[in-house]
Chain A
Amino acid sequence: MEILQQLTFLERGIAAGLIIGFICPLLGAFLLVRRITIISEALSHITLTGITAGIFLSQGFVFLSFLNPLYTGLFFSLIGSLLVEKLRQIYKNFQELAIPVILSAGIGLSAILISLVNTSYSEWYSYLFGSIVTVSLNDLLFIIITGLLAFLMIVAFYKELLSISFDQEFAKVSGISIRRFNFFFSILIALVISMSMKVVGILLVGAMVTLPIAASIQIAKSFRQVIFWGIVFGEVSMIGGILFSYFFDIATGGMIVVTGIGLLLLTTIIKRSKEYVEHKLSGG
C-alpha cells in the first residue's frame, strides 16, 4: 500500500496499463475460441452507463460523493454480462442479437444520464478514449483487485473453459457443468471490461481484448501459444501506446490501439512472407 502511495501519476498509469495488457489478451483468447469477442463492445457500453450513473449519484447525493464511478461501472457491467448470457439462452438460434440489444440499451441510458449530470468535457473524454494520467490511487487499487480476481478465475477455470469452447457436448459428457461455467465466464468478462476502462477507454476496450489475440492467432500453433503471444502483444501495445501518448500528448487509448493494429499488420506480413517462402521452396 505504501509503495503504491509513493508512485507518481505516470507510474500509476504504467502499472495499471501493464496489468490490463496482461489480463485482456488472456480473456480475449477464450472470447476468440468461443467466437464472442464482440461481447466486449456491448459490455463496455453498459459500463459507460454505470460510470455515468456513478457520477450522477455522487453529484446528486452528498452522502454518495465518495463513490468512485468505476465501482458502479463494474456493477452495471456484471448485470449486462448476465443479461447477455440470458438473452443468448432465450434467442438460442440468434445469439448475436444479445449484443446490439445490450449495446444500445447501454448507450441510450448513458445519453440520458450524461444530460443530467454536470461534468466537464475533458472528464468524459478520458472515460471514452482512456487516459493514463488520470489514474488515481483508488483507481489503481480497483484495477489491481479486479485484475487479480480475473487472473485467479482464469487459472481456476482454464481447462474447463477450453474444453467447453472446443466441444460443448464432450465437455458435458466428461462431467463439466456448462451452465455454471457460463455464469463464471460472464462475471469474468465483466470484471475485465470494467477494469480496463480507465486506461484504454470505453470505446477502445474491445480493441484490447481483440487486437493482441488477432495478431497472436496468426503465428500460434497451440492454444497456449495463442495466450503467450497475445500477452506479449498486449504488453507491447500498452507500453508503446503509453510512451507515444506521453511524449506527444495524445489520447492514450488511441495510441494503444494504433500500436496494436501495427502489431497485427506486422504478424500478418510475417505469416504471409513465411508462407510465400515455403511455397517457393516446395514448389521449386
Chain B
Amino acid sequence: MGEKKTPYAIEIDHVFFSYGQRDVLQDIHLKISEGSFLALVGPNGSGKSTLIKCILGLLTLQKGSIKLFGQSIKKFHEWNQIGFVSQKANSFNSGFPATVFEVVSMGLYGKIGLFRFLTKRHKEKVKEAIKQVGMEEYMNQNIGELSGGQQQRVFIARALVSEPRLLILDEPTVGVDAKSVQNFYNMLRKLNTEKKITLILVTHDVGAVTEYITDVACLNKCLHFHGDTHEFEEKQDEMMSTMYGHDVRVITHNHDHDHHDHFHDHDGSDLR
C-alpha cells in the first residue's frame, strides 16, 4: 500500500536492545542510503550482529523503530528484497548432501510458495546467480566438497537469487583465504556498482575494505561514527581509539600484500 518514496534502504531510529541485564545497543540512529556500500565496523561484542538481526527481523525490537525501504519493519513482508549471508553460513554440516544448484535454489524457496516447484524460469535465475559469483563450473558439485571461499560465493548466490535490493553480509570472509578475500570484495563492489544493490558488510577489518566501500559506520553499543570513506579516513585514528578504548592502528591494504594484522586489542590478540 502506501510505500513512501525514500532515498533510504534502511532507517534505524532510536533503537535499544539488551539481552537480559546486558545492554547491547544504545540509542542507535542510522540511515543507510540506497545504492551505498556500507561497512559496519566494531570490536567483538559491539552489537554488530545484534543490529543486523534486528534489521532482518530475527530479533524483535525492544525500543525504537526500523524502516526498510520506507516501510515499518512490523509491516514489512517483502523479505525476498533482502539477501543475507550469515557469519555462520559456512559452519553448516559439510556432509549435507546438496549440490551447489540445490543450495542456491533455497534462496527462492521462501517466495515460491507451498506445493510449487522450481519452474524453468526459476532454474534460469538460479543458474544466473551462480554465474554471477563465478561458480558455474561447480553447479552440480556437492557443497561440502568446496573450499571455504567457494562456499561463501555459493551463499552469496543463494542470497542474490531472489534479486534483492539490499544485501547484508555478516563477517563473510571468516575462514576464507587471503587471495579469495580480494576476489570476493571485488565481486561485491561489482554488485554494488553494476547491479545497484545496496550492501552492508559487517567486519572487524575496515582496513581491508576501505578501497571497495562508500560509507563506514562504527558501532560499539552506540554509533560512534557514520559517514563516507573519506571522512572516515581523516578521523579514523581518533575514532578507533575512542571505540576500542586504546591505541589501535588501522593499516589500509594494498592489493598485493596479504598479511592481515590490523587491529590489536589489549591482550595483543588479533581482532580480525
Interface residues of A, Cβ cutoff 8 Å to B: 33, 35, 155-160, 162-163, 166-167, 169-176, 217, 220-226
**In the bound complex, what is the Cα–Cα distance between A160 and B112 (angstroms)?**
10
**In the bound complex, what is the Cα–Cα distance between A181 and B102 (angstroms)?**
20
Across the interface, A174 reaches (CB within 8 A) one of B103, B110, B115, B142, namely B110
Q: How big is chain B's contact interface, by range?
A: 35 or more
Which are the 3 A-B pairs with shortest beta-carbon distances? Answer: A174-B110, A175-B110, A159-B109
Answer whether A163 and B106 are a contact pair too, CB < 8 Å, given A169-B86, A222-B99, A225-B97: yes
Counting CB contacts under 8 A, is B107 at the interface?
A: yes
B79 to chain A, nearest CB (A): 4
Q: Chain A residues with Cβ under 8 A from B112's Cβ?
A: 159
- Whether B86 contacts A170 by the Cβ 8 Å rule is yes
A170 to chain B, nearest CB (A): 7
**In the bound complex, what is the Cα–Cα distance between A219 and B110 (angstroms)?**
29
B138 to chain A, nearest CB (A): 12
Q: Chain A residues with Cβ under 8 A from B106's Cβ?
A: 159, 162-163, 166-167, 170-171, 174
- Whether B99 contacts A221 by the Cβ 8 Å rule is yes
B89 to chain A, nearest CB (A): 7
Q: Which of B110, B115, B117, B142 has the most CB of A within 10 A?
A: B110
Chain A residue at minimum C-beta to C-beta distance from B91: A167
**Given A162-B109, A163-B110, A173-B56, 18 extra CB contacts under 8 A:** A156-B114, A160-B109, A166-B106, A170-B84, A170-B89, A172-B58, A173-B79, A174-B107, A174-B109, A175-B111, A176-B109, A217-B97, A221-B97, A222-B97, A222-B99, A222-B142, A223-B99, A223-B102
Residue-wise interface mask of B (80-108) relative to A, using a CB-CB cutoff of 8 A (1 in contact, 0 not): 10101010110011001111011101110
- Whether A166 contacts B107 by the Cβ 8 Å rule is no
Across the interface, B80 reaches (CB within 8 A) one of A174, A217, A223, namely A174
Q: Chain A residues with Cβ under 8 A from B115's Cβ?
A: 155-156
**In the bound complex, what is the Cα–Cα distance between A158 and B102 (angstroms)?**
12
Across the interface, A166 reaches (CB within 8 A) one of B77, B96, B110, namely B96
Answer whether A35 and B93 are a contact pair too, CB < 8 Å, given A169-B58, A169-B86: yes
Chain A residue at minimum C-beta to C-beta distance from B53: A169
Q: Chain A residues with Cβ under 8 A from B86's Cβ?
A: 167, 169-170
Across the interface, B114 reaches (CB within 8 A) one of A160, A171, A173, A224, namely A160
Q: Chain A residues with Cβ under 8 A from B105's Cβ?
A: 159
A156 to chain B, nearest CB (A): 5
Interface residues of B, Cβ cutoff 8 Å to A: 56-58, 77, 79-80, 82, 84, 86, 88-89, 92-93, 96-99, 101-103, 105-107, 109-112, 114-115, 117, 140-142, 158, 162
- Whether B102 contacts A224 by the Cβ 8 Å rule is yes
Q: Chain B residues with Cβ under 8 A from A35's Cβ?
A: 93
What would be 14 A-B contacts, judged by CB atoms less than 8 Å apart? A33-B97, A160-B109, A162-B98, A162-B102, A162-B106, A163-B106, A163-B110, A167-B92, A171-B109, A173-B82, A174-B106, A175-B80, A221-B142, A223-B99
B113 to chain A, nearest CB (A): 9
A229 to chain B, nearest CB (A): 10
Chain A residue at minimum C-beta to C-beta distance from B114: A156
Q: Chain A residues with Cβ under 8 A from B82's Cβ?
A: 173
**In the bound complex, what is the Cα–Cα distance between A225 and B77 (angstroms)?**
34
Q: Chain A residues with Cβ under 8 A from B84's Cβ?
A: 169-170, 173
**In the bound complex, what is the Cα–Cα distance between A223 and B100 (angstroms)?**
11
**In the bound complex, what is the Cα–Cα distance between A174 and B82 (angstroms)?**
8
Chain B residue at minimum C-beta to C-beta distance from A33: B96
A266 to chain B, nearest CB (A): 19
A135 to chain B, nearest CB (A): 31
Across the interface, A173 reaches (CB within 8 A) one of B58, B102, B117, B142, namely B58
Q: Chain B residues with Cβ under 8 A from A226's Cβ?
A: 97
B148 to chain A, nearest CB (A): 16
A96 to chain B, nearest CB (A): 16
**In the bound complex, what is the Cα–Cα distance between A175 and B102 (angstroms)?**
18
Q: Chain A residues with Cβ under 8 A from B96's Cβ?
A: 33, 166
Answer whether A163 and B97 are a contact pair too, CB < 8 Å, given A170-B158, A173-B82: no
Q: Chain A residues with Cβ under 8 A from B117's Cβ?
A: 158-159
**In the bound complex, what is the Cα–Cα distance between A48 and B158 (angstroms)?**
43
Q: Chain A residues with Cβ under 8 A from B80's Cβ?
A: 174-175
- Whether A163 contacts B58 by the Cβ 8 Å rule is no
Q: Chain B residues with Cβ under 8 A from A174's Cβ?
A: 79-80, 106-107, 109-111, 162
Q: Chain A residues with Cβ under 8 A from B110's Cβ?
A: 163, 171, 174-176
Q: Chain A residues with Cβ under 8 A from B56's Cβ?
A: 173
Chain A residue at minimum C-beta to C-beta distance from B162: A174
B9 to chain A, nearest CB (A): 16
**In the bound complex, what is the Cα–Cα distance between A173 and B141 (angstroms)?**
25
Q: Chain B residues with Cβ under 8 A from A217's Cβ?
A: 97
**In the bound complex, what is the Cα–Cα distance between A217 and B96 (angstroms)?**
9
Q: Chain B residues with Cβ under 8 A from A176's Cβ?
A: 109-110
**In the bound complex, what is the Cα–Cα distance between A160 and B107 (angstroms)?**
11
